[in-house]
Structure 1
Amino acid sequence: MLKKSRQFIAGVLVGATLFGGTTVLAANKTILEITTLPLKYFFDGLQINPPEDQQGFVYKGTTYVPLRFVSESLGEKVTWEGKTSSIYVGKMPEGKLTYLTDLQPHSTSGSFNTLIKDSGNFTTIMNQTYSKSMQLNTYNPASGEYLLDGQYKRFQAGLMPDSYWKGKNSEKLGIIKIYGDGEVLYSSPTISSNASEIENIDIDVTRVLKLSIEFDPYITSPYIDFIQPRFIQ
């Protein structure tokens, strides 16, 4: 079957391609040359066809697929929040999010202040880029203590080797421990440089007054991504 080249306005791709019919206002519009293909979708071996208005396309060598169709075919709900221009797949946050990178620690040791200063966007070994993240890349143990005053319910984050480790030898990088008022709430397994899945952190911090995060590196440059550490109220 012949490929078809078309022009799309980038500003409406979220509404038309990802959500199938949702109207979205775009601040900036750009004309894109794309190529549509007769894509077939298989989920656990079963072929499912997308609606006519939710077709995939190719742009600059990358294939884009309709998020709503794919997510719902996998049993996950998709929610668009226009106020913050956010897309949620699966569960939405249960309460207000406060990212660790937006808070000032009460006290620190080692190079923790440097980790905070260098926080931002990082890409993991699996080519996933996350904002509001930290990179645990210090050769000495480092820790930071935060005063929560019992105002949060949960602390969530992820751990994964950075894209720096692509194509490099396997190494044991280090561990992280999280304390609430002096008690261990979480102790990670050893993070390896060839890990292919995120180590998810989800702990109850209800009534916790002081939270301490301790990082213990095993090598000089561990390059572990501390993915979107955040508190939920």
Structure 2
Amino acid sequence: MKKLLIITSYLGFFILGGLTFTYLSTTEAASSLKKINVSQDTIHYYVDKVEKKPKEGQSGFIYEGTTYVPMRFIAESLGKNVTWDGKSKSIYIGDAPTFISLKDVKPIGSDEDHFFHNPSSIVISTGEKFEQSYQLGGYHGGGAVQDHTVEYMANGKYKSFETYLAPVKKLAAGSFGIGYMKIYADNKLIYDSGSIKDKVKVNVNLEGASKVKFEIEGSGLGILDPKFTQ
């Protein structure tokens, strides 16, 4: 027999533990919360012709023609571990990556820009606070435009680079943004943020790269917890 559930949640996070839902507390996430109607029914799961049964309370559900299933149950049925990182709100299936903060990586050459060696706490325009972060311009986002170019040896040991870019204060209507970031792998441009007006996530594939170079410019631009992954 089908049951009709009314659930208030941010959809993506139910998958870690069946029908366990989590509210997000940040200003950005709160704007994405909504109430939905879903149909819960008995779903049969087969892995290589063998039926697998989830624990009680971990049944999937159907929403707008798509069947959602508990990720932990599916991954473990396939022999994979599942890890949940609440800080970054990330799910890892199989091996979790190793993160290396940019502050702990030495730039190329003695004359290189050491901008990423002095992180601090940053509060961005949404009110969120980030540690191990950086900003261009004055402490409250004012001051002259700054630019920095930093290059690192990678030697193929990094899988990716990730960070968030965001204004550290609210922008005036019609603003053209407060800066940008460009990323080069072996002197080839692989990422260009364009002018930043809102918080955006950066996640760039660096597999096989020998060198990685960052160009950043702006005033009031926050670079939030930048790191390489291995």
| TM-score, structure 2 normalization | 0.55
Alignment of 1:96-111 (within 5 A): 96-107=98-109
Give the structure 1 partner of residue 116 of structure 2.
116
CA distance in 1, matches of 2:151, 2:171: 35
CA distance in 2, matches of 1:140, 1:88: 28
Is residue 104–residue 117 contact of structure 2 (8 Å, CA) maintained in 1?
A: no
Give the structure 2 partner of residue 24 of structure 1.
none
Shift of 1:203: 1.1
Is residue 156–residue 229 contact of structure 1 (8 Å, CA) maintained in 2?
A: yes
Give the structure 2 partner of residue 64 of structure 1.
none
3-state SS of paired residue (2:194): coil
Q: Unpaired segments of 5 or more residues in structure 1?
A: 1-42, 48-74
Give the structure 1 partner of residue 215 of structure 2.
214
3-state SS of paired residue (1:230): strand
CA distance in 2, matches of 1:167, 1:158: 17
Shift of 1:125: 0.6
Give the structure 2 partner of residue 189 of structure 1.
194
Is residue 106–residue 145 contact of structure 1 (8 Å, CA) maintained in 2?
A: yes
Judged with a 3 Å threshold, the aligned counterparts in structure 2 of structure 1 residues 168 and 117 are, in CA distance, closer, same or farther, namely farther
Count the aligned residue pairs. Answer: 152
3-state SS of paired residue (1:101): helix
Q: Deviations over 1:190-224 (max 9, x none)?
A: 112xx2xx21111111111110000133xxxx111
Cα RMSD of the aligned pairs, angstroms, is 3.4
CA distance in 1, matches of 2:71, 2:159: 25
Among all aligned residue pairs of Structure 1 and Structure 2, give the percentage whose two residues are the same amino acid: 22
Is residue 103–residue 118 contact of structure 2 (8 Å, CA) maintained in 1?
A: no
Is residue 171–residue 177 contact of structure 2 (8 Å, CA) maintained in 1?
A: no
User: Do structure 1's residue 203 and structure 2's residue 208 form an aligned pair?
Assistant: no
| TM-score, structure 1 normalization | 0.54
Is residue 103–residue 119 contact of structure 2 (8 Å, CA) maintained in 1?
A: yes
Judged with a 3 Å threshold, the aligned counterparts in structure 2 of structure 1 residues 140 and 166 are, in CA distance, closer, same or farther, namely closer
3-state SS of paired residue (1:208): coil
User: Do structure 1's residue 45 and structure 2's residue 73 form an aligned pair?
Assistant: no
User: Do structure 1's residue 176 and structure 2's residue 181 form an aligned pair?
Assistant: yes
Q: Unpaired segments of 5 or more residues in structure 2?
A: 1-32, 38-69, 73-81, 138-143
User: Do structure 1's residue 152 and structure 2's residue 173 form an aligned pair?
Assistant: no
